[in-house]
Amino acid sequence: MLDVNRNKNIHLMTLTEVQSVSGFVGNFEVEVLQHAKYTNSDCNGCRACEEVCPAYSASEFDQNLGPRKAIYVSFAQAVPMVAQIDMTKCIRCGLCMDECELNAINFDDTDKIKKLKVGTIIVATGWDEFRQEGYLGYGKYPNVITQLELERILAPNGPTYGNIVRPSDGKHPHKILFIQCVGSRDLKRNRHCSSGVCCLISIKNTKLIKQHDPNIDVIVAFIDIRAGGKAYEEYYLESRKYGVKFVKASIPRIQEDAETHNLKVYMQDMLQDCSEMKEHEFDLVVLSSAMEPAQGIGILNDKLKLERSPDGFFKEYHSRLNPVDTNVVGISLAGASQGPKSIAETIMQAKGAASSANIIMRPGEYRMRMEKAVVDEIRCSKCGLCVENCPYDAIALDPVQKFAVVDEVKCRSCGICAQTCPSQAITVRNSRGSQFNAVIDNLLYRVAE
């Protein structure tokens, strides 16, 4: 990110969201809303303002496990290193303004609308962690946490400075349970698997816990371990050597002891007597939750007009032949916007998306095959079925004449419009029935010879 911020050809816009997208490849017009930071470009991230700020709030970066000030830098390695003010928590005491030597604080800052002209777009929305209040005690019992919350507990710069403690009382846990596939591979929640990412995160974090304190009893309850990838299986076997116990089990419910805050877990061992439900007690339970589409992906898609797969992620143009581009020419996907991915897979797809954009944007001509849909204006009955069925939003009714008009840049020559047209007014260049008949006749003629 530092290299990105230092590159003169890259304009980094933080606290910004897309308002509208129009145009087509090579000529997109994007309107963005840049939220007010209440600090200006003179801020150098010295964080002197934080020290004097008396107002506190929960830290989003620390998964709300620790505090932050009303004026703050998002995290220690934030890029750009600039402070921002949470006006919902700020009490406007002015102490930060008095402390800032660069006069970088501006309480009168406002949101700004900016219009950008771009040739291509890469969508990289990231992902969110599945969290359902009450499910397996999450949000109800403080000692039921998710992997992201555990990551912040284990981090040396986290709210506990890397010390493994329970959120309820700050005590050191002696028995920890990891539960896999929470909210994933589930017909009632998410049917998709998170591409083995949850399994690898559990393996990593169980090893970190064992390295921190070998005496902690760590158990992983799983459906099956999906450690597919280079050296992943070896990584899994190594964690077992550390003493991590892997149990194939089903866990229907968790209850809390009101006095000790310990967790009573009802576990059904799938490799032994499946009819027997045993109760176990743990100090801490970690949920390996599913990777879900990022919050707001639906709102963004209202502006981009892309397709989405049944799991809610953005859909690629072709899952095997073109897993990077979308149904809209000039818009590509990177990382978990297209589906759950590991870091290695994310990097590979990001490079693919950058390469796809570079092909279009490099100097010279960009050539497109013009095998596009064509409308016979006389035969068109103006019913609008082609408009409704076009997956690429490439057909519209002429505002005056009302017959169908094809946008040849957006059209991907799929032929759906030709198949649904009741008047047979739409054909696709080089795919007309007479052309196919001629090819078939020629083939049969050669066979007869």
| Token pair in block for residue 447 | 């066979």
The domain in which residue 65 lies consists of: 2-120
If pLDDT is split at 50, 70 and 90, which confidence band does 436 have?
A: confident
Query: Can you tell me whether residue 431 is helix, strand or coil?
Result: coil
Q: Are residues 165 and 282 in the same domain?
A: yes
Which pLDDT tens digit goes with each residue over 294-348?
999 999 999 998 999 999 999 999 988 999 999 898 999 999 999 999 999 999 9
Res 206 pLDDT > 90: yes
Q: Are residues 241 and 228 in the same domain?
A: yes
Domain boundary, last residue among 104, 120, 136: 120
Q: Are residues 299 and 439 in the same domain?
A: no
pLDDT value, residue 401: 85
Q: Are residues 110 and 138 in the same domain?
A: no
Q: Among 325, 321, 299, which Cα is nearest to 312's?
A: 299
**Cβ pair 216, 175 in contact under 8 A:** yes
Q: Are residues 103 and 126 in the same domain?
A: no
Domain boundary, last residue among 336, 367, 398: 367
CATH at residue 195: 3.50.50.60
**Cβ pair 85, 37 in contact under 8 A:** yes
pLDDT value, residue 409: 84
Q: Are residues 52 and 195 in the same domain?
A: no
Neighbours of 47 (CB within 10 A): 15
Higher pLDDT: 250 or 433? It is 250
| Bridge partners, 112 (sequence order) | 34
Q: Who's near 437: CB < 8 A, 6+ residues apart?
A: none
Which pLDDT tens digit goes with each residue over 39-90?
998 999 999 999 999 999 999 999 999 999 999 999 988 999 999 999 999 9
Domain boundary, last residue among 340, 367, 394: 367
pLDDT value, residue 440: 86
DSSP code of 173? P
Which pLDDT tens digit goes with each residue over 137-157?
999 999 999 999 999 999 999
Burial class (CB in 10 A: 0-12, 13-18, 19+), 401: exposed
How far is it, in rounded angstroms, from Cα 379 to Cα 403? 9
CATH at residue 419: 3.30.70.20
| Token pair in block for residue 43 | 């801020």
Which pLDDT tens digit goes with each residue over 240-280?
999 999 999 999 999 999 999 999 999 988 887 666 788 99
Q: Are residues 310 and 196 in the same domain?
A: yes
If pLDDT is split at 50, 70 and 90, which confidence band does 449 have?
A: low
Q: Are strands 426-428 and 373-375 parallel, antiparallel or unpaired?
A: antiparallel
**Cβ pair 237, 253 in contact under 8 A:** no
**Average pLDDT estimate for 399-404:** 89
**pTM of this prediction?**
0.87
| Token pair in block for residue 132 | 């359902």
Q: Are residues 212 and 153 in the same domain?
A: yes
Q: Please calculate the CA angle 104-109-113 and round it to the nearest 5 degrees.
A: 125
What is the count of structural domains for the chain? Answer: 3
How far is it, in rounded angstroms, from Cα 355 to Cα 325? 11
How far is it, in rounded angstroms, from Cα 28 to Cα 18? 13
